[in-house]
Amino acid sequence: MYVQRSEKNPVVKLGPDIKAKIGMQLRQIYGEIVDQGVPDRFVELLKRLDDANCEGR
């Protein structure tokens, strides 16, 4: 949990602000993909699977 820094700042414990900042950046990168929604290929794939399933009964 410690970050080695220069002699001016020998050891810095990660505070909640840093955790929050990292979390924010992480969610932004992740969110960019999530916001793309569900590509058509997956909608079609599941529909095909579902249809095949119904016919199989």
Partner 1 sequence: MGLRKNVREAMLEAVPSLRAFAISLCGNVDRADDLVQEALLRAWANMGSFQPGTNMSAWLFTILRNLFRSEYRKRRREVEDVDGSYAESLTSLPEQNSRLEIVEFRNALKLLPSEQRESLILVGASGFSYEEAAQICGCAVGTIKSRVNRARSRLAEILSIDSASDFGPDRETRAVANSDIVRNDRS
Binding flag, residue 15, partner 1 (CB under 8 A): yes
Size of the site for partner 1 (CB under 8 A): 41
Q: Collect all residues with Cβ–Cβ distance below 8 Å to 11 and sequence separation of at least 6.
A: 2, 3, 4, 5
User: How far is Cα 3 from Cα 12, in angstroms, rounded to an integer?
Assistant: 5
User: How far is Cα 6 from Cα 26, in angstroms, rounded to an integer?
Assistant: 26
Binding flag, residue 14, partner 1 (CB under 8 A): yes
Binding flag, residue 10, partner 1 (CB under 8 A): no
Binding flag, residue 18, partner 1 (CB under 8 A): yes
Of the candidates 7, 32, 40, 55, which one interacts with partner 1 according to CB under 8 A? 32
